């Protein structure tokens, strides 16, 4: 759930922007370093950003029967790592604000903090923790996506409660109100996003082993599953290989 344009008072909008800035700057430095070392990563990162943007446009059925959009932060963090997700998430949120009127420019800092920072970091932490304790890949993926989604909405509730404290019970009362509406109704949606992420990851493991190995996802699973034959040398994304049968390129028009 994006906080709409103008919803936060100016002081809050600025404060959340300042809070997000170090994470985004760190992500920008990581991205710039990556692009300088591997110029071809620009295209891979752009593709990752487009994937994140498109993923957030999918409509998922909720357990309650309603329909919502996945945040995509969990899958993004597992595939591309939280620092990169801070930048890709910021770009995605900017596009959503200007192309879809979801979110806003004055609330960009607050939305970045919940969706591009806390969500990815919380989901990735849970994913890594479960992997460390040798949980199956899909269990770790489910809980990573679930926690990323739910933490995003919990942070949004905190942001709104801080901006609009309840006249009777202050911040806690407001947190109950906003949390009750946004976070609790979000639990079924977080379950839905976890399930969807598992299904997507299962298909990716079958169809895109090469990419997942380059991104480091299957390197971690290989430690758990010694039968996997493919080897991976690094967790860092490397230069994508040239296709075996290069097709006619459309780069001139699209780049």
Partner 1 sequence: MLPIDAAAHSSRWRRRHPVDKAVLGLGLTVLAISLPPWPGAALVLAAALTLLLGPAGVGARKLWRAYRVPLGFCVTGALILLLQIGGPGGFVTLADGGPARAGGLLLRTSAASLGVLLFAFTTPMSDLLPRLVKAGVPAPVVDVALVTYRMSFMLLDSMSRIRQAQAARLGHTTRAATWRSLAGLGATAFVRAFDRASRLQAGLAGRGYDGTLRVLVPEVRISRSFVVASAALLTGLVALTLVLERFLP
Residues 40-79 that bind partner 1 (CB under 8 A): 40, 42-51, 53-55, 57-58, 60-61, 75, 79
CB of 80 to partner 1, least distance (A): 11
Distance CA 13, CA 167 (A): 21
Under the binding rule (CB under 8 A), the answer on residue 98 touching partner 1 is yes
Query: Among the candidate windows 124-132, 146-154, 167-175, 227-235, which touches partner 1 by CB under 8 A?
Result: 167-175
Distance CA 24, CA 121 (A): 13
Give percent helix, percent strand, percent coil of the chain, each to the nearest 5. 70, 0, 30
| Interface pattern 176-195 for partner 1 (x via CB under 8 A) | xxx--x-------------x
Q: How many residues bind partner 1 (CB under 8 A)?
A: 86
Under the binding rule (CB under 8 A), the answer on residue 39 touching partner 1 is yes
Contact predicate 137/219, CB 8 Å: no
Under the binding rule (CB under 8 A), the answer on residue 87 touching partner 1 is yes
Structure-token pair, residue 60: 């998922």
Which one of residues 66, 207, 224, 234 is an interface residue with partner 1 (CB under 8 A)?
207
CB of 85 to partner 1, least distance (A): 13
Name the residue nearer to partner 1 (CB basis): 28 or 129: 28
Which one of residues 21, 100, 136, 234 is an interface residue with partner 1 (CB under 8 A)?
100
Residue 207 CA: distances (Å) to CA of 56, 203, 204, 210, 232: 21, 6, 5, 9, 17
* Nearest Cα residue to 217 out of 122, 82, 78: 78
Name the residue nearer to partner 1 (CB basis): 125 or 164: 164
Reading phi first (left if > 0) and then psi (alpha if -120 to 50, else beta), residue 243 is in beta
């Amino acid at each position: 759930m994006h906080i709409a344009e103008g919803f936060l008072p100016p002081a809050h909008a600025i404060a959340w922007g300042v809070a997000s800035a170090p994470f985004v700057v760190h992500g920008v430095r990581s991205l710039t370093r990556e692009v300088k070392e591997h110029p071809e990563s620009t295209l891979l990162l752009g593709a990752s950003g487009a994937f994140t943007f498109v993923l957030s446009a999918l409509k998922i059925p909720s357990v309650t029967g309603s329909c919502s959009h996945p945040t995509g932060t969990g899958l993004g963090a597992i595939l591309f790592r939280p620092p990169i997700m801070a930048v890709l998430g910021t770009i995605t949120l900017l596009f959503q604000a200007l192309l879809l009127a979801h979110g806003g420019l004055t609330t960009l800092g607050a939305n970045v903090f919940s969706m591009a920072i806390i969500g990815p970091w919380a989901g990735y932490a849970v994913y890594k923790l479960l992997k460390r304790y040798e949980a199956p890949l899909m269990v770790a993926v489910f809980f990573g996506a679930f926690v990323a989604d739910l933490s995003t909405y919990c942070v949004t509730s905190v942001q709104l409660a801080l901006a609009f404290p309840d006249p009777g019970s202050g911040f806690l009362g407001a947190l109950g109100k906003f949390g009750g509406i946004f976070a609790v109704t979000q639990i079924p949606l977080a379950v839905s996003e976890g399930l969807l992420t598992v299904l997507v990851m299962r298909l990716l493991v079958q169809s895109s082993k090469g990419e997942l190995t380059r991104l480091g996802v299957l390197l971690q699973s290989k430690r758990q599953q010694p039968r996997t034959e493919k080897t991976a040398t690094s967790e860092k994304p490397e230069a994508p290989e040239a296709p075996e049968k290069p097709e006619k390129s459309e780069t001139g028009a699209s780049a």
